[in-house]
């Protein structure tokens, strides 16, 4: 999950990242309005190829799947291709382990309802205080079904530590629900070790991968997790979500389904009609990342085989991680220079433990005022609790005020960070 490259080599490789070519593939960031998208944690921009896929679907195949005529057959084929691409994205063993839907939250709620029916003697669920509320409140509704909750808490260094998880696990643990990366602070959790500890105790692990998705390689086999949810709109696609789960676990879960729906994944998970054109767009977004792998490496080659596609994707995400480390380092440097209070991981030597999402406050300005002034300068950030009010309280903050969050992805630039820093410096001078 973390890049193994460190020190000067990171800067060399980051400098070789083809940022101009990348930005040229995104209509929103290559335009003339000069707006700076630093609110990518709320949804990333979309490459032209994904826009083309959505348009093509709506113009040519905007019909229901499951029919015998050509356009309906093509919808089935589009979904099948997207399922294969998503399975490749997460390194699933089978495309049947991928289910499409509206968003990660709805999938978490559906899974909580199903898992709540299987508690028995294992009725303890471990939650974290670093998670998005969607991966907390959905599970806590199971209290009425007899579930008990324990808390894996973030340390003052801005991350969760597996050794703090150990004493929480027992023969009563049914599930660990955990984020891969904090959507408010950018901290990357050692979920491979967390999963091992959970499995050693006979429990399962459910991962919220929404915020990690655009920043690194997802590998459900290497992580040895049991369930994972993600939202495509953060991975450069239109709004949609997907769930991955081990086939045998999904098959065993008691989920709602209409009588004519097979009791097999993915069909048993996909109740109702989802947005086919957005699934087509997500397929194209994944293929954009594969294209990026070819762009950043002379060793990467275009190809249709699953192994080649995965190899190109991994190459792309490694390059993204290295480039984004340079963004994180520069963003934190700029915030230090204006005297901002940064929450979470700040040390240069720990850049591999974070993505370029930073929660901060200025000592003399309210978060809402900072966000408004940045907006007036053409820079989009966000203020508030970031759907993580428990995390805000653990940081000693009022969730109603929260923090300012700047969240960058691989189409952002060092020059944009300079503009951001200039506005913050001006705010300090006029305080």
pLDDT in tens, the chain (431 residues): 554 545 556 666 777 899 999 999 999 998 778 999 999 999 999 999 999 999 999 999 999 999 999 999 999 999 999 999 999 999 999 999 999 999 999 999 999 999 999 999 999 999 999 999 999 999 999 999 999 999 999 999 999 999 999 999 999 999 999 999 999 999 999 999 999 999 999 999 999 999 999 999 999 999 999 999 999 999 999 999 999 999 999 999 998 888 888 889 999 999 888 999 999 999 999 999 999 999 998 666 776 777 789 999 999 999 999 999 999 999 999 999 999 999 999 999 999 999 999 999 999 899 999 999 999 999 999 999 999 999 999 999 999 999 999 999 999 999 999 999 999 999 877 66
Residues ≥6 apart with Cβ < 8 Å to 58: 277
Number of residues written out for the chain: 431
323 with 17: CB under 8 angstroms? yes
Q: Is the same domain home to 262 and 332?
A: no
- 307 forms bridges with which residues in the sheet? none
CB 149 within 8 A of CB 175: no
38 & 63 share domain: no
User: So what's the pLDDT on residue 6?
Assistant: 52
Strand 227-231 vs strand 204-208: parallel, antiparallel, or unpaired? parallel
Residue 355 CA to residue 320 CA, distance in Å, equals: 10
Name the 3-class secondary structure at 403: strand
CATH number for position 363 = 3.90.1150.10
Question: Residues 182, 391: contact at Cβ < 8 Å?
Answer: yes
In a domain, 303, yes or no: no
Closest CA to 25 of 55, 1, 59, 51: 51
Inter-residue contact 220 to 91 (CB < 8 Å): yes
Q: Are residues 201 and 264 in the same domain?
A: yes
Domain end residue (candidates: 285, 307, 333): 285
The whole-angstrom separation of Cα 322 and Cα 9 is 9
Q: Tell me, yes or no, whether 101 lies in a domain.
A: yes
**Each residue's pLDDT tens digit, 290-310:** 999 999 986 667 767 777 899
Q: What is the pLDDT of residue 30?
A: 86
Give a yes or no: residue 404 inside a domain: yes
Residue 25 token pair: 């593939």
Residue 300 lies inside a defined structural domain of this protein: no
* Inside any domain, residue 308: no
Dist. CA 332–CA 205, nearest whole Å = 32
CA angle 217-220-222, nearest 5°? Answer: 80
Pair (23, 59) in one structural domain: no
From the list 15, 46, 2, 36, the residue with the least C-alpha distance to 240 is: 46
CA pair distance 180, 258, nearest whole angstrom: 33
Domain end point (choices 261, 285, 309): 285
With respect to residue 333, please indicate whether it lies within any of the assigned structural domains. yes
pTM of the model: 0.94
Query: Are 212 and 74 in the same domain?
Result: yes
Helices (H), ranges, 266-305: 276-296
Q: Identify the sign of the CA torsion 283, 288, 291, 297.
A: negative
Tell me: do 178 and 275 sit in the same domain: yes
The answer to whether the peptide bond before residue 149 is cis (omega within 30 degrees of 0) is: no
Q: Contact, 58 vs 277, CB < 8 A? A: yes
Residue 356 lies in a domain: yes
Residue 343 bridge partners (DSSP): 359
At residue 358, φ and ψ (nearest 5 deg) are: -130, 130
184 in Cβ contact with 391 (< 8 Å): yes
Q: Report yes or no on 313 lying in a domain.
A: no
Q: Do 119 and 247 belong to one domain? A: yes
- Same-domain status, 130 and 106: yes
Query: Among 257, 285, 313, which residue terminates a domain?
Result: 285
Instruction: Strands of 38-146 (E only): list them.
Output: 98-101, 124-128
How many domains in the chain?
Answer: 2
What is each CA distance from 388 to 103, 136, 181, 183, 239, in whole angstroms?
17, 9, 13, 8, 21
152 and 111 within one domain: yes
Task: Tell me how many degrees the CA angle 305-70-89 measures, rounded to the nearest 5.
Answer: 30
Query: Are residues 137 and 260 part of one domain?
Result: yes
Domain that holds residue 116: 52-285
198 and 161 in a common domain: yes
On whether both 160 and 221 belong to a single domain, the answer is yes
* Cα-only R_g, the chain: 21
CATH number at residue 268: 3.40.640.10
């Amino acid at each position: 999950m973390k890049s193994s490259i460190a020190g000067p080599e990171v800067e060399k490789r980051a400098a070789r990242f083809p940022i101009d070519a990348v930005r040229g593939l995104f209509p929103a960031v290559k335009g003339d309005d000069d707006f700076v998208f630093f609110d990518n944690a709320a949804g990333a921009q979309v490459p032209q190829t994904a826009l083309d896929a959505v348009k093509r679907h709506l113009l040519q195949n905007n019909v229901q799947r499951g029919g015998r005529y050509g356009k309906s057959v093509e919808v089935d084929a589009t979904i099948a291709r997207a399922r294969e691409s998503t399975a490749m994205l997460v390194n699933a063993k089978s495309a049947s382990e991928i289910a499409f839907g509206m968003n990660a939250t709805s999938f978490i709620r559906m899974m909580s309802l199903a898992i709540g029916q299987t508690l028995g003697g294992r009725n303890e669920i471990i939650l974290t205080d670093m998670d998005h509320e969607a991966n907390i409140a959905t599970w806590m509704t199971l209290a009425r079904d007899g579930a008990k909750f324990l808390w894996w808490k973030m340390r003052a260094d801005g991350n969760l530590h597996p050794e703090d998880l150990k004493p929480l696990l027992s023969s009563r643990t049914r599930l660990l629900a955990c984020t891969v990366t904090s959507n408010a602070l950018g901290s990357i959790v050692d979920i491979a070790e967390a999963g091992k500890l959970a499995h050693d105790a006979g429990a399962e692990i459910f991962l919220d991968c929404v915020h990690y998705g655009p920043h690194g390689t997802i590998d459900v086999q290497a992580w040895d997790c049991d369930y994972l949810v993600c939202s495509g709109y953060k991975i450069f696609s239109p709004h949609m979500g997907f769930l991955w789960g081990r086939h045998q676990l999904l098959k065993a879960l008691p989920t709602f389904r209409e009588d004519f729906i097979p009791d097999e994944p993915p069909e048993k998970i996909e109740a109702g009609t989802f947005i086919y054109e957005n699934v087509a767009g997500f397929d194209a977004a994944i293929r954009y990342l594969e294209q990026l792998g070819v762009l950043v490496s002379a060793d990467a080659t275009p190809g249709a085989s699953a192994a080649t596609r995965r190899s190109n994707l991994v190459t792309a995400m490694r390059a993204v991680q290295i480039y984004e480390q340079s963004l994180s380092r520069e963003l934190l440097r700029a915030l230090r220079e204006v005297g901002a209070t940064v929450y979470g991981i700040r040390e240069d030597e720990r850049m591999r433990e974070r993505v370029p999402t930073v929660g901060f406050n200025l000592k003399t300005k309210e978060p809402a005022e900072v966000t408004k002034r940045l907006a007036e300068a053409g820079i989009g950030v966000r203020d508030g609790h970031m759907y993580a009010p428990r995390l805000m309280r653990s940081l000693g903050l009022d969730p109603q005020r929260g923090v300012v969050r700047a969240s960058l992805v691989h189409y952002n630039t060092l020059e944009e960070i300079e503009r951001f820093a200039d506005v913050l410096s001006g705010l300090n001078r006029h305080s």
